[in-house]
Amino acid sequence: MNEWTKMAYDQKWLDQQPSDVWEVVTALKQQLTLEAEETVRDLLREVGRAEARRECNERGEPYITEFNKVARSVYYYDSLSEAISFAESLGWVDQFGDAPELCYGEWSPAVADSCEAEVLEYIKSKGYRVINYTEEV
């Protein structure tokens, strides 16, 4: 029994004898897609990107498609250094200085906050939703 048939039985849609089978198929696809998206978001939050990708590949469609949609549109903010690296991979140019300058006292909490705000804004400008580890996806 495939996922759609199982869902149809669970929802008792097969007992209703719908006049339009297309409505049932469309509703099943939508429900399965929503459930797959929710599962992908849970996996990303609970086990991380690599394990979530493996799990979605094992489950097949529509989990693979939903993983690709969700994973591409979300940036998980864990640390400023990782955010800087990711932003630079998207084309951001660091105007705040590098490690040697930090050793001479030029780095301050205010500079770090400014850098963080600029980096996260740049990532958002590239179409990513930025969340940290405490937020729900």
**pLDDT tens, position by position, 4-26:** 566 666 665 555 555 566 777 78
Query: Per-residue pLDDT tens for 117-127?
Result: 999 999 888 87
d(CA 73, CA 60): 20
Same domain, 16 and 61: yes
| C-alpha pair distances (Å), 56 with each of 27, 28, 35, 47 | 22, 19, 13, 12
> Which residues sit opposite 77 in a β-bridge?
132
Same domain, 84 and 21: no
Same domain, 127 and 104: yes
Count up the domains in the chain and report the number.
Answer: 2
Where among 74, 92, 113 does a domain terminate? 74
Show the domain range for 17.
Answer: 1-74
- The answer to whether the CB of 49 falls within 8 A of the CB of 133 is no
> Which residues sit opposite 99 in a β-bridge?
none
Same domain, 68 and 122: no
Same domain, 62 and 92: no
Same domain, 88 and 136: yes
pTM of the full structure: 0.46
d(CA 80, CA 60): 34
